[in-house]
Chains A and B, each alone.
Chain A
């Protein structure tokens, strides 16, 4: 797989990152070398091997269903650039 200008623009848009031409070029180079490196894995025969989701051999830790009753409003909104009556206020998004 090769990353070209279109692909890099699409990834940038999906990630909401603005890239200028110079940065695009740099990322194309970087990502291609990463992909080349990873592609070496294709040389390994993985037939009949289950996909691996995590390399840790421990078991998913679980918690009991207990809720804390703290009111988070003030703390959560502390860093918000804009807020109103307990809500985050963000630029209008309408679908």
Chain B
């Protein structure tokens, strides 16, 4: 993958690391029993702990701890038997405690890695530095009133997993693939719902540029991006900005930036003169978190098949390409659909590649057009399987199958029903096809002459005419073979 950017003066390379914030999918918050439900009326899910009323004490949610461990295992990471909760001190209106309970020196999960797969069949590992548990903050609304900010604490105290990568990412696409992969792993594990629109999954992006082979440059951090599109846009803008400064002889100031989603530009946060000084220290309200090997072992046994395992299984069992298999396993609903479809008929196992193509191109484009998710597909995996079987047994042609799928999609009928009702069976009867071809040859003597004089391109014309006469139902391979034979006999 080419990751060199041509500048005015020389070549540049971008260096990117991501901090991903993933909300744990749990009923209650990390340190209180308030509900975590999204979209409730403001401040309706705020306990006295979340509002930091004096004297309230945090009690940790066992389930959230298990989900963090589970995620750590899914990231091929080291699980730490001993971790510590610290206070990260800063003032902001949506942080009633005046500090965020987080993990600093001793996170619950240490080094790991995830693999991203490129279209050309190659792969790359992105190293994970750590995953730690922390509290989410509340939400502030700034644009409702010229002199006030409105604060909703429903999100305050919801458990977050912060997943920090090494600066191993080199292009905006890699950044997109990396966060997609993390999202996919989280969703297979069911530890986060992965909903970026609702903010359950969001990222801070660290970006610097350097001349290839040089030391890392000074980085800037873009805060709180909640879509893959914005992540790529923000990186592209920020890299351009940094290169322009450097080529003009300037230097990059380490800064925290905000990305404006309507202009596509980054700008520094205003309070930069106050360098961050979080004064971390162990939270005296919480004892260290200890997890035994036995507990970790128990959590490991609850882990489902993850995308990479499933990918390798698909490659082995069905001889799919690395890329096809990674597309298929990127979302759990896709791999589930494929599994159900291919297992619906033993015949289909020999045609896995066709099944993949029909899911990822034909079915996906119909779903897209109708704004539907695969989960709500009007065509069930079994019915798609049946359609593919009709293709693989030469009962209908691939071209007609596309129309049949559209019919299935809008009427909910099975492929069999539609093919029978409309009489779409492929004509594979030797005699019938010969008859049609004889007719085509007989009615186009001039064309035949030209063809025999060497105008090979006319073959397509004959095929088209014959298909027209059979309403597209002739078996294309047979049609071709018979046509060639008959024309060559004339020679």
Contacts and interface: CB of A to CB of B under 8 A. Distances in A.
B89 interface: yes
Given A53-B282, A62-B59, A87-B152, A67 B35 contact: yes
A64 B29 CA distance: 11
A48 interface: no
Interface stretch (B61-69, B112-120, B379-387, B454-462): B61-69
Contact of A53 (B42, B47, B84): B84
Contacts of A93: 92-93, 140, 142, 149
Contacts, number: 133
B327 interface: no
A67 B46 CA distance: 11
B64 A68 contact: no
Kindly state the interface size class of chain B when it binds its partner.
Answer: 35 or more
Given A53-B84, A58-B287, A66 B149 contact: no
Nearest to A62: B62
Interface string B16-46: 0000000000111000011110000111111
B82 to A, nearest CB: 9
Interface in A71-95: 71-73, 76-77, 82, 84-95
B448 to A, nearest CB: 78
Interface residues of A, number: 37
A65 interface: yes
A94 B148 contact: no
A86 B47 contact: no
Interface of A: 10, 13-14, 16, 53-54, 56, 58-69, 71-73, 76-77, 82, 84-95
8 contacts: A14-B277, A16-B91, A60-B288, A86-B43, A86-B152, A87-B150, A90-B149, A91-B149
Given A63-B33, A67-B33, 6 more contacts: A54-B286, A65-B26, A67-B34, A77-B43, A91-B148, A92-B142
